[in-house]
Amino acid sequence: MSYVKHFLSDISYNKYVKNKLADRLSELLDENKISKRKLANEIGVSASSISDWSTGKIQPTAENIYLLSDYFKISSDYLLGLTDI
């Protein structure tokens, strides 16, 4: 993680991860043509949670990051913005 921190002089690391997760989740929803409500039903959370995560209002728990990663068949590192693959 320190390699990412090195490039972030004006924004905090937490804000970077929060925004990156929100961006990636929004992209995944759009690319897969999945509504927030459908995703919420599929992984067992509220639609408002999905909305809050996709706007960066709040961060999902580790368990929910796992559920999102599993649902979209991506790594949690990708979802968090630590890798681009």
Per-residue pLDDT of the chain (85 residues; tens, 9 = 90+): 555 555 555 556 666 667 899 999 999 999 999 999 999 999 999 999 999 999 999 999 999 999 999 999 999 999 999 898 8
The token duo for 84 is 């681009």
Q: If you count them, how many residues does the chain have?
A: 85
Alpha helices (H) in the chain, listed in sequence order: 2-6, 13-31, 36-43, 47-55, 62-72, 76-80
Please tell me what DSSP assigns to residue 84: -
Q: Say if residues 13 and 82 touch (Cβ distance below 8 Å).
A: no
Domain spans of the chain, in order of start = 14-80
Superfamily (CATH H level) for 14-80: lambda repressor-like DNA-binding domains (1.10.260.40)
Q: Look at the pTM and tell me if it is higher than 0.85.
A: no
